Amino acid sequence: MGVSRSRRSVLRGLAALPVGPAALACARQSSPPPASLTVVPGTVLVMSYQTSSPRVDRQIANYEEFNKEFKPQGLEVEFVNPGMAVFDKVTTLHVAGTPADMWEEGSGWRRQEGLLAELTPFMTRDKIDEKQWFPDAINVMKAPTSWPPPSGAKVWGMPVSISADALAYNLDLLDAAGLKPPPQDPDDRSWTMEKFLETATKLTKGTAQFGFGGSFTPDPVQEWLNGPTYFGYGPVDLAGKKITIDTTGFRNGLQWWVDVFTRNHVVPTADELNTLRSSAGQSAFLTGKVGLDRISNFPTRPDFRWGVAALPYTANPAQPKNVSGRISIHGLYMDSDGKSKDRTWQVFRYWMRPDTNQKYVWSDGHVVSPLVKTNSEWSLKEFQNSVNVADARGFLYQSQHSKFDAWGFYLLKGWFDVQKLVSPLWADLKAGKMPVAEFATKAQEMIGRSTSF
């Protein structure tokens, strides 16, 4: 899939152009699409979210299949690796007046506000039933007021893949310690945070083996946002339009995780982990010397017996159902200045098909499809075969319980900048240099001042 001469010059020459909120605010609103069901011929420029192998290679193969099906009808995708964060590239192209037609993004639509075409007119015209997606998957593509948003509210992106959390366990280490594997079912009320810590303690043997790898959310920047979810508390209440960090439940959840790292020696320090690794940067769980760890996926096949379980959870009266961890909804987005939105929408429709969608999920390195009727059967099988695990349905089960990332924090205006301000405070808290109460008060104030619903 080559890049045309004009497109190639654009993609090479625009990285240095200035980008700002004022420029994005000038984005034009999309007009209602024509009511046509025939293929609109032409080329659709797709900017890749993935930039390195093997995931970008899988996506290239996916779009080659698309072209094989539609090129004889005159419709073709030009798939481009931006070589940088996709948000930065598509914003630069948009401001320059040479927009990409569509792209994938994992951090949600709000940061891209002003850049996006509304998808609601296309969904209305084609009678797309929102119920084909999991409720959280489609709702997170809408504005947070009111919450949950009604059916038919403005949609700014299309769910295409779900990054979900689950718990990995080393079956060899559990057997050696005479312990049973954790349950797959998130509704199993015996698998509490207290039971999790008890199990991790029994699996820890000095500095030679540890019960827990230390990961409870994919990105350390997100730890303070998602840690209290294991006790049923989140940083934001969208329905009530409130920031809920400086509350008793949220503070207690943060304190529990801080204690795990500073008081309970069940997690290896950086130096201890380095002594366990067989290669630089190897994940804690893949060393084979860690009993339990949260995972989203694995690019490498473990060389020991292992399994996938539910995340532990300690219920409270307001949240009796296991809502540990998070699901991150990756979406496809369309530029508001795209030259042929109706042509681009045909590519969106292609990824609504259960067969093609699960291939897209796997190309992202994910396991869970946002389409309800797939049951993620194909993507689960691909994951299981690739990393030699007998049953990975724990991902699917947990994804049906967990709320979307940080309970909607990423739907707030201004979230991206304020998150960077709070992260250093979390580092001090996690290192025992700051009390939880001080962190919660400062974080609540910063977020309340710098974001809005």
Q: Which residues pair with 168 in a beta bridge?
A: 293, 308
Let me know how many helices (H) and strands (E) the chain has, helices first: 17, 11
Is the fold of 5-163+327-374 the same as that of 166-325+402-450? yes
Length of the chain: 453
What's the confidence (pLDDT) of residue 68? 98
Q: pLDDT by residue (tens digit) across 66-87? A: 999 999 999 999 999 999 999 9
Question: Helices in 14-165 by DSSP H: which ranges?
Answer: 21-25, 55-70, 86-96, 120-125, 135-139
Q: Is pLDDT at 27 greater than 50 in this prediction?
A: no
What's the confidence (pLDDT) of residue 17? 36
Q: Is pLDDT at 20 greater than 90 in this prediction?
A: no
Q: Which two tokens stand for residue 339?
A: 């030259």
What's the confidence (pLDDT) of residue 37? 59
Strand 306-309 and strand 158-164: the pairing is unpaired
Which residue, among 416, 420, 442, has the nearest Cα to 429 in the 3D structure? 442
Which residue, among 343, 403, 397, 257, has the nearest Cα to 43 in the 3D structure? 343
Q: pLDDT by residue (tens digit) across 110-169? A: 999 999 999 999 999 999 999 999 999 999 999 998 999 999 999 999 999 999 999 999
Please report, for residues 50, 182, 186, 232, the alpha-carbon distance to residue 313 in angstroms, rounded to integers and kept in the order given: 32, 12, 8, 8
Q: Is pLDDT at 23 greater than 80 in this prediction?
A: no
Averaged pLDDT score across all residues of the chain:
92
Of residues 12 and 98, which shows the higher confidence score?
98
Which residue, among 152, 161, 158, 155, has the nearest Cα to 142 in the 3D structure? 155
Of residues 27 and 247, which shows the higher confidence score?
247
Question: Tokens 């998808």 map to which residue?
Answer: 119
CATH 3.30.70.20 for domain 5-163+327-374, yes or no, is no
- Chain centroid, CA 165 distance in Å: 9
How many whole angstroms separate alpha carbon 441 and alpha carbon 271? 32
Which residue, among 250, 220, 258, has the nearest Cα to 432 in the 3D structure? 258
How many whole angstroms separate alpha carbon 165 and alpha carbon 309? 10
Please report, for residues 196, 253, 431, 433, 434, the alpha-carbon distance to residue 424 in angstroms, rounded to integers and kept in the order given: 28, 19, 11, 11, 11
What's the confidence (pLDDT) of residue 6? 41
What are the domain boundaries of the chain? 5-163+327-374, 166-325+402-450
CA torsion sign for 105, 405, 398, 170 is positive
pLDDT level of residue 30 (50, 70, 90 thresholds): very low
Q: pLDDT by residue (tens digit) across 250-285? A: 999 999 999 999 999 999 999 999 999 999 999 999
CATH topology of domain 166-325+402-450: D-Maltodextrin-Binding Protein; domain 2 (3.40.190)
Peptide bond into 54 cis (omega under 30): yes
Question: Tokens 């199990």 map to which residue?
Answer: 199
Peptide bond into 146 cis (omega under 30): yes
Q: Which two tokens stand for residue 37?
A: 């069901």
**Burial (Cβ within 10 Å: 0-12, 13-18, ≥19) of residue 95:** buried
Question: What percentage of the chain exceeds 70 in pLDDT?
Answer: 92
How many whole angstroms separate alpha carbon 394 and alpha carbon 397? 5
Q: pLDDT by residue (tens digit) across 380-435? A: 999 999 999 999 999 999 999 999 999 999 999 999 999 989 999 999 998 889 99
What does pTM read for this prediction?
A: 0.90
CA torsion sign for 231, 311, 217, 428 is positive
What's the confidence (pLDDT) of residue 10? 40
